[in-house]
Amino acid sequence: MNVLLSLCALERHRDLLEQVRPEGARWFALGTDGELRVEGGTVHWDPETLPLEVAWRTTDLLRGGPLRAFYRLVTESSSLRWLQSNSAGFDSPVLSDLVRRGVRVTTSHIAGPPIAEFVLRAAMDHLQGADVWRESATQRQWQPHDFVEMGSTRWLVIGLGQVGAAVAQRARAFGAHVTGVRRSQSATSVVDSLATPQQLRDLLPSCDVVVIAAPANSATAGLVDSDFLRRMKTSSVLINVGRGALVDERALLASLDAGRPGRAVLDVAASEPLPSDDPLWSHPQVVITPHNASLGDGRFERAAAVFASNLQHYAHGEPLAHEIRSTDLQT
Amino acid sequence: MNVLLSLCALERHRDLLEQVRPEGARWFALGTDGELRVEGGTVHWDPETLPLEVAWRTTDLLRGGPLRAFYRLVTESSSLRWLQSNSAGFDSPVLSDLVRRGVRVTTSHIAGPPIAEFVLRAAMDHLQGADVWRESATQRQWQPHDFVEMGSTRWLVIGLGQVGAAVAQRARAFGAHVTGVRRSQSATSVVDSLATPQQLRDLLPSCDVVVIAAPANSATAGLVDSDFLRRMKTSSVLINVGRGALVDERALLASLDAGRPGRAVLDVAASEPLPSDDPLWSHPQVVITPHNASLGDGRFERAAAVFASNLQHYAHGEPLAHEIRSTDLQT
């Protein structure tokens, strides 16, 4: 069994990978130079003589890493049987094509903790008026102000996957009241109450914190439009850690100017990186972060644990966790 | 029974106060103009004809309120039997004098939630490098960075009263490992482990977040000195929500320049308000807030609930919660 992964991932997780290595499996490690190494040497890849069976797509491949070479290898390899992605999202056409070809693709749902921490910090920064403290400090002014406690806040968390659930759990540890929005209304203990997407707009006028933690698809695109925003409280904050496509950014700027919501924290944008001339950068009620909420330092260990577990399942012919079905693909 | 309180507190909590009003009790409400009102009229206070029995010292008296007139009334009234303070701290000489005179004084322990929220936000602001995002945004630069997750952090919480316990509970909800420092080592479930003040310094090199939540007294004054600071990690953050007297500010500035800790968040200072020429204001690794961490909007309701409960106990001759004993007084 030939396993393709990045040299970075192999070096970072060598101990764990050796512990779970199936009999006869070999690691083919792709360096940032685009070279493929096996057992320390460099090999010339030939689909006939070196059939890849498994591929592990880690996030180090994406930012400055050899993603292009990785995708060329998995795309050209007719022997590939399974690819494990470190991401939860499934909006890459390369992965969709693999599924259509009959390659098994599994996703990872490991970004809950860091994204939830990002959301809680961003929400409390708004509720506490921390920007006022920062501004006063630059003026050397000692001016206390009352702030809003979490215990008196109502949250609306749109999307109750790994991220929405992690946000809800932490917000409730502070005493916040959390309503979760999702299509399925099956019972869950992670929120105080559940609402359907149809009920969502009627709840907006009573919510202090609205978190977008839903994926981008045809049902969610443009969800946050003028009508949505007009219903929000003047003191409220909108936090988007889902996808930029869910928010109509032009409508958001207009609605912020009209005072609703009081602030928007956007970790994702319709166009990324956000162009330097985008008016979102300079709006005083907008906080921009560079698609950063998932980049907590615990993600590498969690990703490796997911791959190691699925690799053992794969070797034993057991079901794989979070396998994408062709019926999940968007047409 | 004549009860002295602020007009602000009476107006804010009239419904609750009427619910718990003992038979025959009358409210004497002190306005910001220094006038005393009873049942809507203004009275000239005479200790002989209008003996005060109970006084409720709310925080609205302190900041721009009629604290001086309030203290004159309670000091001159020989009939006073009990004063309820809304604060947990007990470093006011007026209150000490009352206890010495035989007046019962009770404190309130209600600041845990807002201070804990302040601490959690401040800690995550540091761990996530949120100041880097803010600076990048002013430059319209989209530059993601890895950040430290709460789940990988070790916390040292010095002082396990209401505030320390509330901090510990919330930090642990994020997966942080919390060691609490206090003199008594009796069992508690609010932290992962306990340490004595003597063990404290040996723990500093392994801690990412150090929270000062202890009162100022002869045992804690100057606790955070050069030796303490030198033991802290370069990446760590010191958060003081106790009292300024616990930190040697000159030693802190020198140690920050030497890189330990990585940051200090000071909600309290040795001299308050912090003088505008104090070098703490401008140090790049210092975050100053104006003794603000307790000013959450839930404090009024919590304070009124404490007073209402104790007023019922008082009327029925039952023990009062959090009564100061003369043996608690510092000499």
pLDDT band, residue A155 (cuts 50/70/90): very high
ipTM comes to 0.91
Helices (H), chain A: 7-12, 14-20, 67-76, 93-101, 112-127, 130-138, 162-173, 200-203, 226-230, 249-257, 299-315
pLDDT recorded at residue A330: 63
| Range of weakest confidence among A280-289, B52-61, B116-125, B181-190 | B181-190
Closest A-chain CA to B292: A144
Q: Measured between alpha carbons, how far is residue B199 from residues B161, B185, B193, B202, B242 in Å? A: 19, 12, 12, 6, 20
Nearest-neighbour CA in chain A from B263: distance (Å)? 15
Strand order in the sheet with B104-106: B41-43, B36-38, B26-30, B2-6, B54-57, B82-85, B104-106
Q: Which residues of chain B make contact with A274, given a CB cutoff of 8 A?
A: 140, 142
Q: Is B265 left (phi over 0), alpha (psi -120 to 50) or beta?
A: beta
Is pLDDT of A273 > 70?
A: yes
Is pLDDT of B331 > 60?
A: no
Considering the entire predicted model, what is its pTM?
0.91
pLDDT recorded at residue B147: 98
| Range of weakest confidence among A126-135, A180-189, B170-179, B266-275 | A180-189
Q: Measured between alpha carbons, how far is residue B313 from residues B59, B300, B307, B316, B327 in Å? A: 22, 20, 10, 5, 23
The residue among A145, A150, A283 with the most chain B CBs within 10 A of its CB, best to mutate, is A150
Mean pLDDT calculated for residue range B281-286:
98
What is the tens place of the pLDDT at every residue in B83-101?
Answer: 999 988 776 889 999 999 9
Q: Name which of A149, A173, A290 is nearest B170 (Cβ-Cβ).
A: A173
Is-contact A65 A32, C-beta < 8 A?
A: yes
Mean pLDDT calculated for residue range A178-201:
92
What is the tens place of the pLDDT at every residue in B26-54?
Answer: 999 999 998 899 876 777 767 667 789 99
**Taking CB atoms and an 8 Å limit, are A149 and B114 in contact across chains?**
yes
Mean pLDDT calculated for residue range A228-254:
98
Is pLDDT of A147 > 60?
A: yes
pLDDT band, residue B243 (cuts 50/70/90): very high
Mean pLDDT calculated for residue range A211-218:
92
pLDDT recorded at residue A39: 73
What is the tens place of the pLDDT at every residue in B296-327?
Answer: 999 999 999 999 999 999 999 999 999 998 88
User: What domains can be seen in chain B, in order of their start residue?
Assistant: 2-110+297-328 (3.40.50.720), 112-288 (3.40.50.720)
Q: Which residues of chain B make contact with A147, given a CB cutoff of 8 A?
A: 114, 292, 295-297
pLDDT band, residue A91 (cuts 50/70/90): low
pLDDT recorded at residue A43: 77
Strand order in the sheet with A237-240: A193-195, A177-181, A154-158, A209-212, A237-240, A263-266, A286-288
Is-contact A28 A56, C-beta < 8 A?
A: no
Nearest-neighbour CA in chain A from B159: distance (Å)? 20
Mean pLDDT of chain A: 94
User: Hey, is the C-beta of B145 within 8 angstroms of any chain A C-beta?
Assistant: yes
**Taking CB atoms and an 8 Å limit, are B170 and A175 in contact across chains?**
no
pLDDT band, residue B261 (cuts 50/70/90): very high
What is the tens place of the pLDDT at every residue in B100-122?
Answer: 999 999 999 999 999 999 999 99
pLDDT recorded at residue B330: 63
Mean pLDDT of chain B: 94
Is pLDDT of A296 > 90?
A: yes
What is the tens place of the pLDDT at every residue in A30-66?
Answer: 999 988 998 767 777 676 677 899 999 998 898 789 9
* Dihedral of alpha carbons B39, B45, B46, B48, sign: positive
